[in-house]
Every structure is written in C-alpha cells, then in structure tokens.
Amino acid sequence: VRRDAMLKERVAASSTQWAQLANIQASAAKKSAEAKEIAAKKRA
C-alpha cells in the first residue's frame, strides 16, 4: 500500500511538472506573438 501511495505521488508530481512546462511554453509563445504584432505595428 505504501509503495502504491508513493507511486501515485510521483505520477502527480510529474504531471504537475508537465503542466508547468506547458504553461511556460504557452506564455513564451504568446509573448513572441505579441512582440511580432508590436514589430508589425511599428513598421506600418
């Protein structure tokens, strides 16, 4: 039972890390898209 609990904790921790990583990538993509928009407006 103890091993099963440890395994569940490990899975939860890794899925949380994956979610954080996805969030970081999404915000980075958003920032680069915003930067491109600003650059396009400056050119116009």
Domain boundaries, the chain: 1-44
The pLDDT value given to residue 44: 86
- Tell me the whole-structure pTM to 2 decimals: 0.63
Give the tokens for residue 35: 């930067």
pLDDT at 4: 94
Both tokens of 12, joined, read 């939860």
Encode pLDDT of 13-43 as tens digits: 999 999 999 999 999 999 999 999 999 999 9
- What confidence category does residue 3 fall into, taking pLDDT thresholds of 50, 70 and 90? very high
Which residues have a Cβ under 8 Å from the Cβ of 8 and sit 6 or more positions away?
Answer: none
